[in-house]
Amino acid sequence: MIKRLKSLPEFDRPREKMEQKGPKALSNLELLAVLLGSGIKGKDVFEVARDILKATQDNVASINFETLRNIEGVGRAKACQLMAAIEYSKRLLMRDNIEIKGVRDVLALTGELKDKKQEYFLTLTLDGASRLIQKRTVFIGTLNKSIVHPREVFADAIQDRAAGIIFVHNHPSGNTDPSEEDFAITERLSEVAKIVGIDVFDHIIIGKDKHFSFQAEGLLKKQ
């Protein structure tokens, strides 16, 4: 029989605990149990939650859809529900007037890229005071200038009324030296940015233990 939260003794129910003491009183396990709602036959909701914490080393924010789907008891609907909750939380946190003063601030926001097995291309849009408007994953996969299309990169930036933009992508190999394709993508996007009136502040390549900044190396054309 599937064990649902409502079938647990009242003192074990994380929803009741949240109602009485607030969400901060709940452990990570209990918070996940609330999001999951139920387990599956032969595996209760807390066991499913424990498997998720184990798979993410207690850092659920780093999890991806594929990993969730491979956990017994997490189907497509629950995986989507969890990923939506995580993404929504990240977006709310991004509203806290985060100021981007340099590369270090960008690295703090994109640290998850260090362990990715595929290439991810992200954009950070900024207002006129260099405060973060939004962080977005634009592309996943091997990058080339035919895939990284300016239309996809700048559509949201224009909607954000961004004054500036930072490009960030990772090299899963760990080697952060820019490739010919990286140079070509940066030049192409910079030309379009000039046309739409958005400043390109940097393009940062992230590896396992190091990074490369086009701006720091003087490789960005002045706009």
Tokens of 39: 């387990």
Asked if residue 169 lies in contact with residue 142, where contact means CB atoms within 8 angstroms, the answer is no
Whole-angstrom Cα Rg for the chain: 21
**What's 149's domain CATH number?**
3.40.140.10
Q: DSSP letter string over 140-193?
A: ESS--TTTS-HHHHHHHHHHTT-SEEEEEEE-TTS--SPPHHHHHHHHHHHHHH
19 shares its domain with 108: no
Tens digit of each residue's pLDDT, the chain (223 residues)? 454 555 544 435 778 888 888 888 888 888 888 888 888 888 888 899 999 988 877 677 767 888 888 899 898 989 898 888 887 776 676 656 789 999 999 999 998 899 888 899 999 999 999 999 989 999 888 776 557 889 889 999 999 899 999 999 999 999 999 999 999 999 999 999 999 999 999 999 999 999 999 999 999 976 6
Please state the pTM of the whole predicted model: 0.62
pLDDT at site 26: 83
pLDDT at site 96: 64
Domain count along the chain: 2
pLDDT at site 175: 95
Calculate the alpha carbon distances from 9 to 1, 14, 37, 49, 198 in Å: 16, 10, 15, 18, 57
pLDDT at site 120: 93
pLDDT at site 170: 95
pLDDT at site 145: 57
pLDDT at site 9: 43
64 shares its domain with 152: no
In a domain? residue 203: yes
119 shares its domain with 30: no
Nearest to 103 by CA among 223, 222, 210: 210
In a domain? residue 98: no
Asked if residue 119 lies in contact with residue 143, where contact means CB atoms within 8 angstroms, the answer is yes
60 shares its domain with 139: no
157 shares its domain with 205: yes
Specify the long-range contacts of residues 127-130, CB closer than 8 Å, at least 24 apart.
Answer: 127/161, 127/162, 127/163, 127/164, 128/163, 129/99, 130/99, 130/100, 130/101, 130/164, 130/201
85 shares its domain with 109: no
Domain holding 66, by residue range, is: 5-93
pLDDT at site 144: 66
pLDDT at site 95: 58
47 shares its domain with 82: yes
Exposed (0-12), middle (13-18) or buried (19+): which is 189, by Cβ within 10 Å?
A: buried
In a domain? residue 22: yes
In a domain? residue 156: yes
Tokens of 223: 């706009």
In a domain? residue 222: no
Would the CA dihedral through 10, 13, 15, 21 be positive or negative?
A: positive
In a domain? residue 221: no
pLDDT at site 1: 45
